[in-house]
Amino acid sequence: MPHDPAQRHQIEQDAITAAWEAERLEACDDAIVLRREIAVLQTDDDGDVIIGTDANGDNDLLSRIASFLATHDQ
């Protein structure tokens, strides 16, 4: 039996919401991975994180965070 237009619309909206939530969960998973990478960075004797730079002299950590934000910006 076919769905009436209101039911069809609700099913479509539920599918859109589910897809959006899946994207957000993936972004959260990516953020957790990045946070774990940050947590294991080398530290100095005082416990401060030593942040290295890439070949261009840019801060590698900030580049990774910027890349993460650009990927997940909506």
Q: Token pair 């946070």 is at which residue?
A: 35
26, β-bridge pairs: none
Once rounded to an integer, what is the mean pLDDT over residues 42-52?
Answer: 70
- Does residue 29 carry a pLDDT above 80? yes
| Structure confidence at residue 64 (pLDDT) | 77
Residue 20, helix vs strand vs coil: helix
pTM summary value: 0.52
Q: Between 14 and 62, where is the model more confident? A: 14
Buried/exposed 48-69: b ≥16 CB within 10 Å, e otherwise: eeeeeeeeeeeeebeeeeeeee
Q: Is the pLDDT of residue 38 over 90?
A: no
Q: Where are the domains of the chain?
A: 5-72
